Amino acid sequence: MLRTPAMPNAATPPVADPFARFQEWFAEADAQEPDANAMIVATVAPDGRPSTRAILLKGVDARGFVFYTNKQSRKAGELAANANIALLFYWKSLARQIRIEGTVESVTDAEADAYFASRPRISRLGAWASDQSRPLDARLTLEKRLAQYEAEYPGEEVPRPPHWHGYRVIPRSFEFWQNMPFRLHDRTTYTRTPDDGWAIGKLFP
């Protein structure tokens, strides 16, 4: 059931740190949504065409939002040409969404190694077997490649492929959207300032 909260108290100032506000909203979503860490990621192709896909958030702190992927994928190629990126979190049970815009940087090799090692073995082997975003003639081809790497790495130790890495999204803006009665939604924005602080504003619904 859609939860429609009461109107916020206009006298209550918004949380000063957008990361702290994100963590508060995420904790509530994580208690109710099966995939609260699912986010829509938008990138831009060299010809200006946008593309989107759902990806799982794998880490967040004051530095930014982290996800992992194959560096040979379409999104990685687009990010190599244009580091601008947008994220969208939507939690239907809370009637909330968060929009984030920024740029990406690579995580460290140590971070990528640590997260890769935490994945299930079959997922690690799949990172070797998949030429992500490339044409696939038949499912059997992927299954054969997976079997090949299962034979090559028979134990629990599976090294991280050189083409598999992570990105950290460094936000320059946030928008926190809360559904309100009669479509009088509450929209709070955070925009990064030159001194790395945050300017807080409101938008008409």
- Residue 12, pLDDT score: 61
- pLDDT of the chain, 205 residues: tens digit per residue: 434 444 444 446 778 999 999 999 999 999 999 999 999 999 999 999 999 999 999 999 999 999 999 999 999 999 999 999 999 999 999 999 999 999 999 999 999 999 999 999 999 999 999 988 788 899 999 999 999 999 999 989 999 999 999 999 999 999 999 999 999 999 999 999 999 999 999 999 9
- Residue 11, pLDDT score: 45
Domain boundaries, the chain: 18-119+162-203
Q: Looking at the chain, how many residues does it have? A: 205
Query: What is the dihedral angle through the alpha carbons of 30, 34, 35, 37, rounded to the nearest 10 degrees?
Result: 10
- Residue 203, pLDDT score: 96
Catalytic positions, please? Answer: 183
- Residue 133, pLDDT score: 79
Please state the CATH superfamily assignment of the domain spanning residues 18-119+162-203 in this structure. Electron Transport, Fmn-binding Protein; Chain A (2.30.110.10)
Q: What are 107's two structure tokens?
A: 């995580």
- Residue 65, pLDDT score: 98
Cα–Cα dist 146/133, whole Å: 16
Amino acid letter for position 133: S
pTM for this model (two decimals): 0.89
**In sequence order, what DSSP letters do the residues of 139-204 get, joined into one string?**
HHHHHHHHHHHHHHS-SS--PPPTTEEEEEEEEEEEEEEE--GGG--EEEEEEE-TTS-EEEEEE-
